[in-house]
Amino acid sequence: MRKNIVAGNWKMNTTLQEGVQLAKEVNESLKSFKANCGVVIAVPFTHLASINDVIDKNLLGLGAENCANKVSGAFTGEVSAAMVASTGANYVILGHSERRQYYGETSETLKEKVALALENGLTPIFCIGEVLEEREANVHFDVVKRQVEEALFELSAEDFSKLVLAYEPVWAIGTGKTATDDQAEEMHAFIRNTIAKKYGKEIADNTTILYGGSCKPSNAAQLFAKPNVDGGLIGGASLKSESFIDIVKAF
Ligand code: 13P
């Protein structure tokens, strides 16, 4: 059966020293109890190698927040999937709405990033989600279906089964306005059904689908109790070890 995961997305926060300290704290806390889910932190590129050295990867997975859509070469400032993997990281967030919105990422480039991540043994945490106007116009299901189809549905069944998906309604990110557990469940069930139609029920049932958007200790348990919500992708609340661990304990 599919794995439950709580993943932190630190975004562009913490200096290297602060990040190493935070990772150590999370790692220490995870030694003190048995988590009922996988736990991952996705951190800035600059922090990956140092954090990899101070955490127990049996307790805590490590990921990047992005990678390039090119293999290598003259792409100043980019960081390749192979470089990410060479730090010891195992995950990479791809298609986050902030990347789509501020850096013009499209399904075309994301398709290339997903392929390169998989080739380098990284597990993509692939983000999808509608903006407020799309929900208000009642096209949120169409939007999310298109995001999944365009970037992911050319993958082989074997490759698709390596992905983690994250539904993050853009209107809920960093706004304090969480989707209700029923809204999350409704969309997660829809995504799973969309996957089942393409890849079959077994692969759909085995796909981990995380919820992201103002997930915090006070609402995590209610969200995670829904049958199709397999954990969370946590922004703000992952920047303090205590709140992040409280979310882990919601499982
Ligand atoms: P917040 O938890 O800060 O709303 O961010 C969610 C998110 O974007 C995680 O990727």
- What would the pLDDT profile of 142-153 be if each residue is shown by its tens digit? 999 999 999 999
Q: Which atom of ligand 1 is found nearest the CA of 11?
A: 10
Q: Which domain holds residue 97?
A: 5-248
- What would the pLDDT profile of 180-198 be if each residue is shown by its tens digit? 999 999 999 999 999 999 9
State residue 175's pLDDT score: 86
The amino acid at residue 247 is: I
State residue 1's pLDDT score: 84
CATH number of residue 221's parent domain: 3.20.20.70
Question: Is 164 within 8 Å of 213 (Cβ atoms)?
Answer: no
Q: Give me the residues of the chain with pLDDT under 70, please.
A: none
Mutate to test the pocket of ligand 1, among 233, 240, 247 (most ligand atoms within 8 A of CB): 233
State residue 149's pLDDT score: 98
Instruction: Indicate if 47 belongs to the active site.
Output: no
- Set 65, 98, 134, 168: catalytic member: 168
Q: How many residues does the chain have?
A: 251
Q: Which phi and psi (to 5°) does residue 174 adopt?
A: 65, 10
- Set 47, 96, 140, 188: catalytic member: 96
Instruction: Indicate if 119 belongs to the active site.
Output: no
Please state the separation of Cα 25 from the chain's center in Å.
21
CA–CA dist 69, 236 (Å, integer): 27
Among residues 165, 223, 135, the alpha carbon closest in space to that of 2 is found at: 165
Count of domains forming the chain = 1
State residue 178's pLDDT score: 84
Q: Which atom of ligand 1 is found nearest the CA of 97?
A: 8
Give the 3-state DSSP-derived string for the chain, with helices as H, strands as E and coil as C: CCCCEEEEECCCCCCHHHHHHHHHHHHHHHHCCCCCCEEEEECCHHHHHHHHHHCCCCCCEEEECCCCCCCCCCCCCCCCHHHHHHCCCCEEEECCHHHHHHCCCCHHHHHHHHHHHHHCCCEEEEEECCCHHHHHCCCHHHHHHHHHHHHHCCCCHHHHCCCEEEECCHHHCCCCCCCCHHHHHHHHHHHHHHHHHHHCHHHHHHCEEEEECCCCHHHHHHHHCCCCCCEEEECHHHCCHHHHHHHHCCC
**pTM for the whole structure:** 0.98
